[in-house]
Every structure is written in C-alpha cells, then in structure tokens.
C-alpha cells in the first residue's frame, strides 16, 4: 500500500512538472520562404498547381536564402513544404546551404499555390488582351473572386495528377480565390503547424505567394482583407517570425523580412573534379572553355615556321645537299646501264647457242 502511494505521488509530481514546463514561456522561430524563380515566373505565366521547375536563377536564389539564414545563426527542427517541385527543390537547396540535410522534410498538399483555374499556363499578356487588365487584376489580387474554373476533364486539372490520387477528389480545387486558400490552409495551421510551434520547435515553411499570404492571416489574425491583398512575399526571401507561447496565449514578438545576400556557389565535389578536369582544380578545368576563341591564331604561326627554316639555312649546306643528290643520281644511272649491258650480253650468248644447235 505504501509503495502504491509513493508511485501515485511520483506520477503526480511528474504531471505537475510537465504542466509547469508546458505553461512556461517558450520562444520559437517560424520562417516563411517562397520558392525561387520558376520557369513560368520568368515567362509571366499563371502557374498555380502546375508542377513547374526552378530556373537557374531560382536555384541560386534558394541557395543564397539558405546561406543568409545560416550566417544569421538560424536553426530548424523541421521543414514543411508543398507537393510542388519548385517548393521542394527550394527547401532542399536552402537546408543544404545550411548543412541541415538531416532534418525531416514534411510535404502537405494544403501548402500548394492557389489554383488559377482556366488561367493556368497562360501569360499575363494573353489574359489582359482577352479580358482586359482590370479583370485580370481582379482575378489575381482580389480577396474573394476566383478565376474561371477548369473542367474536370481538362488535362491541366490537378485531379489528373498522380500526386493527388490518394486525395478525395472533392478536396481538389478547380479554381481558388485568396479566401478559398485561407480556408484550405486553416486545417494545416490548426492541426500541424501551431502544435509543432507550441512544442518549442523552430519551423521553416517553404511555399508559394498566395498560400503564404493565406498562412499569414492565421499567424497574424489582425491582418485585414485589404492588407492581405497588398501583402507581397518576394521569391526566396525569408520572412522571420519570432513567436512566444505562454500557456494558451500566443504573442508575435517580431516579424522581419531578411535581406538576402549574394553568395558564391561551393566548388564541385571530388568526383566532378576528376570527370571534368582529370584531377585538376575546377578553375583549371574551366579555363579552356572561357578562352576557347583566344588561341585560334597560334596554329597558323606554328605551321609557317617550318616553311621559313629552309630559307634560313647556310648556302654551304644547301650546296652539299645538292652535290649529294647529284652523286646518288649518277651512281643510279651507272648501275642501270651496267645491268642493261649485262642483260644484252646474256641475250646475245643465248642467241649464239641456239644458232649453233641448228
């Protein structure tokens, strides 16, 4: 009985300590990072749920964002990203630059960009010419007006993408407004992100322009519709929230948009050095490509030198060469005459023998 009492007392003490620990103030970092420039960003096309890759500039932007966060001394426990290639690639490039490749990367379809419906894949210029600039801006930046929806049999519809086969088709949008994306992101904030932050974990969320604006409305509930419509989140620019949790209360201590600095890319790994430069340093292997056109005149100069050398030889040597050639020619003529003479004598001897026999 005494042992049971001691056990219950120990359990009660553990529960009290755990409760006190949860109630104690905890400060965490939440960073929102939009993906680097994509191919359709460059072409000014509406992208949405279309799975478009980063440009070379987008890759560099993601790397620079990671290096900037690393130099600021930032650290993360987990990365959340969408199911779209441009966001996943940005996440990996950023954490690789930070030497955090070992941390978990979790993907959530609710972090996808807004579905632009029938605008997807079309350029801003095409939409402006077809519907007018004012209508295009309503579809792009308004709070509650979605663009024309895609039909379910349209090949651009996300319902035809294998990435979403496991998702109930009723959850897959055919067109969305900012308000629709706020509603879509809500369960992710309530069920995933907020509990993770509450546990004291620092989180990097890599997403897209509209979905990060929608998420901002959950992080900062005081933002108005007008502020959300005007909120800009540039490509590969970390937005850093410092959040304090105390019991059930949450307070935003600060919000900072980091200034991303350009960083040189790291050298290639050793196997690339061997493949490209046969063991030479990457600079040595790259130099011929950089100056390919420069040495084109040199072979012509080298070819001309042997032609000039015979003219530069002393006259005595040239005479000796000529005399030697004449001597060889004379000996060859004498030898030929001797052979011809012998052949004639032999033929005459044979003819005499034939006549004698007759």
Q: What is the pLDDT along the chain (358 residues), one digit of tens a residue?
A: 666 666 666 666 655 554 545 556 899 999 999 999 999 999 999 999 999 999 999 999 999 999 999 999 999 999 999 999 999 999 999 999 999 999 999 999 999 999 999 999 999 999 999 999 999 999 999 999 999 999 999 999 999 999 999 999 999 999 999 999 999 999 999 999 999 999 999 999 999 999 999 999 999 999 999 999 999 999 999 999 999 999 889 999 999 999 999 999 888 877 755 555 544 544 444 444 444 444 445 544 545 455 444 444 455 566 666 777 777 777 777 777 777 777 667 766 665 665 555 4
Q: Are 49 and 119 in contact (CB under 8 A)?
A: no
Asked about 113 being catalytic, the answer comes back as yes
**Annotated catalytic residue within 80, 113, 120, 176:** 113
Residue 293 and residue 306: Cα distance in Å, rounded? 25
Instruction: Give the 3-state secondary structure of 214-239.
Output: HHHHHHCCCCCHHHHHHCCCCCCCCE
Q: What is the pLDDT of residue 288?
A: 44
Tokens 């941390």, residue located: 103
pLDDT given at position 273: 54
Whether 80 is a known active-site residue: answer no
Report whether 122 contacts 150 (CB < 8 A).
no
Q: What is the pTM of this model?
A: 0.70
The DSSP line for 66-122 is HHHHHHTT---SEEEE-SSHHHHHHHHHHHHHTT-TTS-EEE-GGGSPPP-GGGBT-
The pLDDT assigned to 123 comes to: 97
pLDDT of 25: 83
Predicted local distance difference test score (pLDDT) of residue 349: 66
Structure tokens at 195: 């509990």
Q: Which CATH number fits domain 24-262: 3.30.460.80, 1.10.40.30, 3.40.640.10, 3.40.50.1240?
A: 3.40.50.1240
Measure the CA–CA gap between 342 and 350, rounded to whole angstroms. 12
**Cα distance between the two ends of the chain:** 155
For the chain, domain boundaries: 24-262
């Amino acid at each position: 009985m005494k042992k049971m009492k001691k056990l219950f007392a120990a359990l009660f003490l553990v529960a009290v300590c755990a409760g006190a620990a949860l109630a104690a103030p905890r400060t965490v970092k939440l960073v929102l990072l939009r993906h680097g420039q994509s191919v359709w960003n460059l072409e000014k096309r509406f992208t949405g749920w279309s799975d478009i890759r980063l440009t070379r500039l987008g890759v560099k932007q993601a790397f620079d964002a990671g290096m900037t966060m690393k130099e600021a001394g930032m650290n993360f426990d987990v990365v959340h990203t969408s199911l779209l290639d441009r966001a996943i690639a940005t996440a990996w490039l950023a954490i690789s630059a930070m030497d955090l490749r070992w941390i978990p990367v979790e993907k959530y379809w609710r972090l996808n960009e807004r579905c632009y419906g029938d605008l997807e894949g079309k350029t801003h210029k095409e939409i402006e010419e077809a519907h007018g600039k004012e209508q295009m801006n309503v579809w792009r930046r308004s709070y509650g007006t979605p663009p024309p929806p895609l039909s379910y049999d349209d090949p651009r519809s996300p319902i035809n993408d294998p990435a979403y086969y496991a998702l109930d088709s009723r959850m897959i949008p055919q067109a969305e407004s900012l308000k629709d994306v706020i509603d879509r992101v809500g369960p992710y904030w309530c069920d995933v992100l907020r509990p993770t932050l509450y546990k004291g974990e620092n989180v990097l969320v890599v997403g897209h322009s509209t979905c990060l604006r929608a998420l901002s409305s959950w992080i900062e509930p005081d933002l108005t519709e007008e502020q959300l419509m005007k909120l800009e989140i540039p490509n590969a620019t970390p937005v850093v929230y410092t959040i304090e949790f105390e019991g059930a209360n949450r307070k935003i201590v600060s919000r900072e948009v980091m200034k991303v600095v350009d960083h040189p890319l790291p050298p290639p790994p050793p196997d690339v050095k061997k493949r490209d430069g046969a063991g030479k340093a990457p600079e040595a292997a790259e130099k011929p490509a950089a100056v390919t056109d420069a040495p084109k005149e040199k072979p012509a100069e080298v070819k001309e030198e042997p032609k000039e050398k015979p003219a530069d030889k002393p006259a005595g040597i040239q005479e000796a060469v000529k005399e030697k050639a004449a001597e060889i020619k004379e000996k060859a003529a004498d030898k030929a005459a001797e052979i011809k003479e012998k052949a004639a004598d032999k033929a005459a001897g044979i003819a005499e023998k034939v006549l004698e026999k007759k």
